[in-house]
Amino acid sequence: MEKKEEKWVCAHCGYKASGKFTGDICPECGLTYWKCSECGFTMTASTPPDTCPECKAKCEFKNISCYLPECGGPGHIDPRL
């Protein structure tokens, strides 16, 4: 059985790699999509802030970038997240 090689694509700039980005951060643009766990606010940044710019609460941010073609590839947020 042939092993399928994973392709990762940055949701922000379209950079393609043959493996997962280190720390889920694109090595080309340094950005990823983040979603606030409290209010759902989404943003792009290399790392999420401690305080949400929208709800002003100290929140956890979830990485919601789409890295695989199955969820749309560059410019898309992973709908499963």
Give the model confidence (pLDDT) of 34-77 as tens digits: 999 999 998 888 788 889 999 999 989 998 887 777 877 656 77
pLDDT tier for residue 2 given thresholds of 50, 70 and 90: low
pTM (predicted TM-score): 0.62
Q: Is the pLDDT higher at 78 or at 25?
A: 78
Measure the CA–CA gap between 13 and 15, rounded to whole angstroms: 6
pLDDT at 1 exceeding the cut of 60: no
Q: How confident is the model at residue 74, as a pLDDT?
A: 57
